[in-house]
Structure 1
Amino acid sequence: MPALLAAAPLALIIALMLGLRWPAARAGLAGLAVALGVAYLGFGYGDAVLGEIGPARAGVFAFAEAGFTAATILWIIFPALCVYEIQKRSGAFDVIRAGLASVSTDRRVQVLLIAWFFALFMEGAAGFGTPVALAAPLLVSLGFAPLKAVTLALIGHAAGVSFGAVGTPIVAQADLTGISAQAIGQWTGLMHLLVGAVLVVLLMRVADDGRFVMRDSALAALAALCFLAPAALIAFAVGPELPTFAGAAIGAVIFVFALKRLGLERADEAAADDGAKRAESGGGNASERPGAKALLHAAAPYLVIVGLILASRMIVPLTEMLRAFSLAWSLPGGFSGRFEYLYHPGTMLMTGFILGALLQGRRLHDLLSAAGAAARRLAPVVVALLAMLAISRLMVHAQMIDTLAEAVARTGPIWPLFAAGVGGLGTFVTGSATASNILLSEFQMASARSLDLPAVIMLAAQSFGAALGNMACPHNIIAGGATVGLRGREGDVLRATLMPAVVYAALGGVVTLILVG
């Protein structure tokens, strides 16, 4: 009964968004009302749980955490929208689209370059929603509908979320459990290597409305191998900090080289015709090949962003200096927040927006106009984001998530089948693989001990699962949709990403069961 009560807010949100097609704001507010009732009446929130601070302060403090977290997420969405607006106004998207067409006229190849390699690269460099915020607008510029663009970006970056921004999710696990971060990363990389190609297949099927021919199998296998093999090798040889970032960079180079060598860059006739139509509808001409100078000019904001992120993550003295500046607070009962405002990806995005636009020759008026348009598009997102985050913080502090996880663990010997799913549940609620690992790694350790299972493999299953939850997390969907104006259709995105997340969780469960056996 407690587990059913704990699941009620999430079940309601999924039912409203999937079944009744409610927008995220309405569904989130309804879910929040149920979460408040369940937390206070069913779990004794502020009484049996956190009774030392009382019911009123327990509620206020949870909402304070939600508001603070929402602000840090909005600081990613807003500058990402600014970049999108200035790129649209400057015609840079047309140049980038033509540049991608010079690699291949096949939209499926272009999707792999953006939604797979570019999104994974940004996940490894920055994380925290940056990949979707940057990849989705680029996909829209290629002619993809906003709904499909967000779906592709969410699915495409998921395989790298286990390692996140410079290994943060797995480093957090190691700090909590005392097990080597490299050991956890090795098993996590192996799990993705074994089943990660499924994500590429799903990505290509979404990109082409379910059409999947023999040539697509070759493309999917090539793209999967180009990222997953280097990522796993780096995880085994180096550690968890670089698999996503370096794996994507190395993989993209190998992929483009292999395309040319194998002749896979040439689209079949139907795909080429469709790609040309998409290019025309987007305002560009796929046959025009921009020069290197034009491409650098058009890509200036992205190049600045990548450069800043790499410098801030890879130059240790700079990293330490930037992270020394933070806004942090804590309240009784374990409520807290921390915002490293110079190190945060949003600050890199805003700097990239300003410097990149200036390098393109934009004037102050252009920047202010783009920022104004971005702000107008941002406003409707706030309610939905706050509601979802408030549910998350209530469920964490009222121990509703613990109750759900413990209920699943009672499955006994077949528990490894569900371990990845629990990691995904943690990310679905919190929106962060790192938060999911912090929340559930000790639980996974305890389950491993009680069932006499290898703890390191169960922690890897947790990290694997935490990645897949990122695909379907409501407030990730809200944040990604905001960058392409997809307000009110978040349920459609959830409908498109939930099944891939479930399929990947099931595969992860099978792999975990085999590995522990």
Structure 2
Amino acid sequence: MTWTQEYVPLGSIALSALAAAIPMIIIFYLLAIRRSPGQVAGISALIAAFLVAVLVYKMPLNIAFLAALMGIAYGVFPIFWIVLTAIFIYNMTVETGKFDVIKNSIATITDDRRLQALLIAFAFGAFLEGAAGFGTPVAISAGMLVGLGFNPLYAAGLCLIANTAPVAFGGIGIPIIVAGQVTGIDTMKISQMVGRQLPFISVFIPIWLVVLMSGWKATKEVLPACLVAGISFAVVQFFSANYLGPELPDILSSLASIFSLTFFLQIWKPASIWRFPGEQAGKSKTSVLPTYSTTELVTAWGPFIILTVMVILWGLKPIKAVLDMPTLSIYVPGLHNLVTQVAPIAKAPTAMTAVYKINWLSAAGTALFIASILSAMILGVGPGQFFRILGKTFSQLTKPLITIPAVLGLAYIMNYSGMSSSLGLFLAGSGAFFPFFSAWLGWLGVFLTGSDTSANALFGNLQSVTAQQVGVDPTLTVAANSSGGVTGKMISPQSIAVATAATGLVGKEGDLFSFTVMHSIILAILVGIMTYLQAYALSWMIP
């Protein structure tokens, strides 16, 4: 028997949206105010969502349970699989002493903490986002910063904020491709519109990061480097998004930023070397660092070189098509095609599919696991040590193994019950101000799901339908869903859980949430203002 979603179960969209927001309010309260551990906040919000879905939205008990179970399953695989394998590779380099070589080789470029953050959190993190997405960049780059000596909270927070610039084009452009699929709008037009929004954010994210780390006075010392990193990224992001499509902007932009910044630092140095309070500041200590042979450097960097190559290969469409062939698709009985979406969320009554795909070979985590085997060979890690480090890594991540599935379960209940749609419809009722709130819809979607791709799938059609109703080009609002969504990534419970797992901050999710939440809100406001201006005053920017 099918069940049809009801988006106004309490007779008022405002009251219905307030009821739908209860799980979000709980998770905000527990993380930001009570500073509760992630697993406590995640489980509490999941239980609240289940109760609201069943008691308020009249979702059948068995369907609510299966929706939660499907989300939990996706939290284990592929999301936790990515986190586990990424941190496993990092742990191998630490156990074998090779991360010291990596640290020192980065310090030969610069041992200034501000510039290291630009290279790793911003530029290298963007590369990983473009190649893999789904938690990989934060897991890898935050772990690297901690290994370099960064305060774990700053390492995690900086990587989450830096990840704002590339998220919309992450995973070889999949968020934009999905937005095109659910709305029927040409994917290239959405790519072009996002490419006329995010570059403005990308220019000043490096400056934002450094100000957050060191204050404005210290930022002025490295302002030229910030501008090189940001402008090179933004220019290539604009060009590739507008003329090449959504697949390559992150890859090309990050490489442009890495090479531009590395070259610039060969001919320019800051007046002083900045380090965190408690570290010795002063002149560069690069001259006293040990020197390494080419073989030593290649061996130490080998795991991350292999990781990069594997992630790129796994993202190539012809290879991905072959790797997807053995994917096991499980049509969830009791849920598949038994929940019906109706207007305005869907153009016509549409049965929601419930297919749990075990893409065990094409998953990004599998690429990382194969990279870990190859890395073990070049690092000289034998089978015994390999499995010992893997076991240690798994033990390290037992709490995230609770948190991540819990927040995915929350997202799936809110999606299948119609709670997310109630929140979206409430924002969509803003009339002529909808272009401003369209960015907040994306922000909300990514907060709930941890994924710009999922946010576009969730709210893409609502954005398109509402834009037409208020007389705005739907290409703009669909793009704003993705551009606004990137600002919610840094506070998504899923992202927070990944970041704390990578930096040894498990149990401190509330501290990290508090660290990033204001930045998320400010950036969402900026994207909203930009979208509003593009809707009315700068409509010539819409392709």
TM, length-normalised to structure 1: 0.93
Is 1:448 matched up with 2:462? no
**Relative to 1, partners in 2 of residues 1:129 and 1:273: Cα closer, same or farther, differing over 3 Å?**
closer
Name the structure 1 match of 2:415. 396
> Pick from 244, 248, 270: which aligns with 1:242?
248
Name the structure 2 match of 1:464. 483
Deviations 1:437-465 (A, max 9, x none): 01100000011110010111111111101
Task: State, as a whole percentage, how many aligned pairs show the same letter.
Answer: 29
Secondary structure class of the residue paired with 1:45: coil
CA contact (8 A) 1:65 1:337 kept: no
Q: Which moved more, 1:64-73 or 1:28-37?
A: 64-73
Measured in 2, the distance between the counterparts of 1:85 and 1:149 equals: 16
**Relative to 1, partners in 2 of residues 1:91 and 1:419: Cα closer, same or farther, differing over 3 Å?**
same
> Pick from 216, 223, 226: which aligns with 1:217?
223
Give, as a single letter, the amino acid of the residue that structure 1 aligns with 2:231. Answer: L
Q: CA RMSD in A?
A: 2.0
> Pick from 452, 470, 477: which aligns with 2:496?
477
Equivalent residues in 2 for 1:395-434 (5 A)?
A: 395-434=414-453
Q: Which moved more, 1:418-427 or 1:214-223?
A: 214-223
> Pick from 187, 193, 196: which aligns with 2:193?
187
Is 1:510 matched up with 2:529? yes
**Relative to 1, partners in 2 of residues 1:513 and 1:286: Cα closer, same or farther, differing over 3 Å?**
farther
- How far did residue 159 of structure 1 move? 1.1
Is 1:256 matched up with 2:287? no
Secondary structure class of the residue paired with 2:207: helix
- How far did residue 278 of structure 1 move? 8.9
Name the structure 1 match of 2:169. 163
Is 1:227 matched up with 2:258? no
- How far did residue 270 of structure 1 move? 5.2
CA contact (8 A) 2:71 2:405 kept: no
Give, as a single letter, the amino acid of the residue that structure 1 aligns with 2:257. Answer: G
Measured in 1, the distance between the counterparts of 2:230 and 2:482 equals: 19
Give, as a single letter, the amino acid of the residue that structure 2 aligns with 1:464. Answer: S
Measured in 2, the distance between the counterparts of 1:57 and 1:398 equals: 9
Name the structure 2 match of 1:120. 126
> Pick from 17, 29, 33: which aligns with 1:19?
33
Name the structure 2 match of 1:98. 104
Deviations 1:181-204 (A, max 9, x none): 111111101111123233222211
Give, as a single letter, the amino acid of the residue that structure 1 aligns with 2:91. Answer: E
Give, as a single letter, the amino acid of the residue that structure 2 aligns with 1:18. Answer: A
Deviations 1:93-123 (A, max 9, x none): 1111111111112111111110011000000
Name the structure 2 match of 1:271. 274
Deviations 1:354-385 (A, max 9, x none): 11121122222221221111011121222222
Is 1:39 matched up with 2:53? yes
CA contact (8 A) 1:111 1:207 kept: no
Give, as a single letter, the amino acid of the residue that structure 2 aligns with 1:293. Answer: T
- How far did residue 505 of structure 1 move? 0.8
- How far did residue 276 of structure 1 move? 7.0
Measured in 1, the distance between the counterparts of 2:224 and 2:98 equals: 31
Measured in 1, the distance between the counterparts of 2:275 and 2:212 equals: 17
Is 1:375 matched up with 2:394? yes
Measured in 1, the distance between the counterparts of 2:35 and 2:162 equals: 24
Name the structure 1 match of 2:179. 173
Name the structure 2 match of 1:303. 305
- How far did residue 211 of structure 1 move? 5.8
Name the structure 2 match of 1:51. none
Give, as a single letter, the amino acid of the residue that structure 1 aligns with 2:264. Answer: A
Secondary structure class of the residue paired with 1:337: strand
- How far did residue 430 of structure 1 move? 0.7
- How far did residue 243 of structure 1 move? 0.1
Q: Could you list the runs of 5+ residues in structure 1 that have no partner in the other structure? A: 47-54
Q: Which moved more, 1:409-418 or 1:192-201?
A: 192-201
Name the structure 2 match of 1:330. 331
**Relative to 1, partners in 2 of residues 1:423 and 1:272: Cα closer, same or farther, differing over 3 Å?**
closer
CA contact (8 A) 1:70 1:389 kept: no
Q: Which moved more, 1:494-503 or 1:122-131?
A: 494-503
Measured in 2, the distance between the counterparts of 1:134 and 1:292 equals: 23
Measured in 1, the distance between the counterparts of 2:415 and 2:478 equals: 20
Measured in 2, the distance between the counterparts of 1:327 and 1:217 equals: 50
**Relative to 1, partners in 2 of residues 1:342 and 1:273: Cα closer, same or farther, differing over 3 Å?**
closer
Secondary structure class of the residue paired with 2:83: helix
- How far did residue 306 of structure 1 move? 1.0
Q: Could you list the runs of 5+ residues in structure 2 that have no partner in the other structure? A: 1-14, 339-352, 537-543
